[in-house]
Amino acid sequence: MVQTIQQIERTCFPEDFRDIEKGHPIEDMFGEKITTTDIYFIMKNGDVVHEVNIGEYQVRFYGAIEKQAK
């Protein structure tokens, strides 16, 4: 149960909702390497984005504004 909670906190999805790929991409569109157990997203337009770059992707391509709480 604790592992499931940590998974949801990290990815916003429980493990059961993820597709596990065997022939995954080698890197995302920002050059971030994708290795075994890494989480990545395939966007509707085909862009591959590693989870660590999802914020950058939103800022660059969707006009999101990054903010930090004080």
The residue among 67, 70, 17, 66 whose CA lies nearest residue 41 is 17
Residue 70 lies in a domain: yes
The single residue listed with the structure tokens 């395939």 is 42
Q: What is the pLDDT of residue 58?
A: 95
- pTM, two decimals, is 0.66
Predicted local confidence at residue 19, as pLDDT: 60
For the chain, what is the domain count? 1
Q: Is residue 32 part of a domain?
A: yes
pLDDT, tens digit, 9 for 90 and up, residues 46-68: 999 999 999 999 999 999 999 99
Query: What is the rounded average pLDDT of the residues 32-59?
Result: 93
Mean pLDDT of the chain: 82
Residue 26, pLDDT score:
87
Across the chain, where does the E strand assignment appear?
40-42, 48-50
Predicted local distance difference test score (pLDDT) of residue 18: 56
User: Whole domain around residue 68: which residue ranges?
Assistant: 19-70
